[in-house]
Structure 1
């Protein structure tokens, strides 16, 4: 069976070209993106949080699955790469936040989210507890890049192992690991 996506966001080619021009090599894998679209579509009228906008490829996949009543908050530290997303994804359903994801998580006092996609260190390797607190009961938490990547720093594999072990021990989430795409974990909040 071919597991490549059959449908792509219309903005994806422009975002990919912009990422290449900017030298940005950490964009969302298209299989992960296709899962993001499905998860966002499963939350009609939902609230979605993306930690790590990058140039907006993951954002485009999320928007592709969201209905008109859904809203996405996308947080990115690097203003230059997020500027690409802001320019190409002119969509009233998304609010872009430029700043440190950890600081944003610490200060956020709004309503929780139906889907949290942690595609950067904050919300995954730091501030994990806070990110999980922001998932509504029945909501989903998704992380990627759990299989060895060429850009991993020394010792990062041990950090991934610790993260996976910590998530597996939680009673308030049910998790599934997928050796697919870049290595994913999907968790559903049960409590």
Structure 2
């Protein structure tokens, strides 16, 4: 059926999805988000990509499926248990898993050092936004999801989402597109 991206899921995705469900992880990336990430990763040949919030690796698998042989992905998470699912399932030399606080990792990186950043955690999205955006190269892409109301949102979260969207759209160095796709995405390109 048109619009069904699950048939294009990477081989490791099914295993990761089963382990994610078994452990009761409630913040997985959706299939359609993954399909878009694969496309965007493919548009960055030889690129250096950053994923903030590995989770169990569902989005990581999609990003890897879009990378060419000379590209690399760094995936950062603070939770060893959930990231362990990704480490076990994704044995690919193009990915490096970092177990660290996202804020510490962001602050240790050189400006303009990434071609694509998928911020799927508070650090890089609701915390240290300007520092994260400074890591994008010219033409680099910044991607976030969960912009539409989600059942796991904390009380009052809509205000944070609205403020984030406003900040991104007002940023003079970004071209921003809102997508009512999957959980609600924003894709921004650095001018």
Question: TM-score over 0.5 for the alignment?
Answer: yes
Distance (Å, rounded) in 2 between the aligned partners of 1:13 and 1:183: 23
Deviation (angstroms), 1:160: 0.2
The normalised TM-score by structure 2 is 0.96
Distance (Å, rounded) in 1 between the aligned partners of 2:112 and 2:145: 24
How does 1:109-128 map onto structure 2 within 5 Å? Answer: 109=110, 112-128=113-129
Match of 1:11 in 2: 12
Asked if 1:93 corresponds to 2:86, the answer is no
Deviation (angstroms), 1:10: 0.5
Distance (Å, rounded) in 2 between the aligned partners of 1:56 and 1:27: 8
Distance (Å, rounded) in 1 between the aligned partners of 2:133 and 2:150: 25
Match of 1:147 in 2: 148
The normalised TM-score by structure 1 is 0.96
Distance (Å, rounded) in 2 between the aligned partners of 1:114 and 1:4: 28
Deviation (angstroms), 1:109: 3.5
Match of 2:85 in 1: 84
How does 1:16-55 map onto structure 2 within 5 Å? Answer: 16-55=17-56
Deviation (angstroms), 1:111: 6.1
Match of 1:104 in 2: 105
SS at match of 1:43: coil
Asked if 1:2 corresponds to 2:2, the answer is yes
Match of 1:64 in 2: 65
Distance (Å, rounded) in 2 between the aligned partners of 1:180 and 1:144: 9
Aligned length, in residue pairs: 190
For the structure 1 residues 78 and 42, does the alpha-carbon distance in structure 2 shift closer, same or farther, using more than 3 Å as the test?
A: same
Match of 1:178 in 2: 179
Runs of 4 or more, structure 1, over 6 Å off, are none
Q: What are structure 2's unaligned runs of at least 5 residues?
A: none
Let me know the Cα RMSD of the aligned residues: 1.2
Q: What are structure 1's unaligned runs of at least 5 residues?
A: none
Asked if 1:129 corresponds to 2:130, the answer is yes
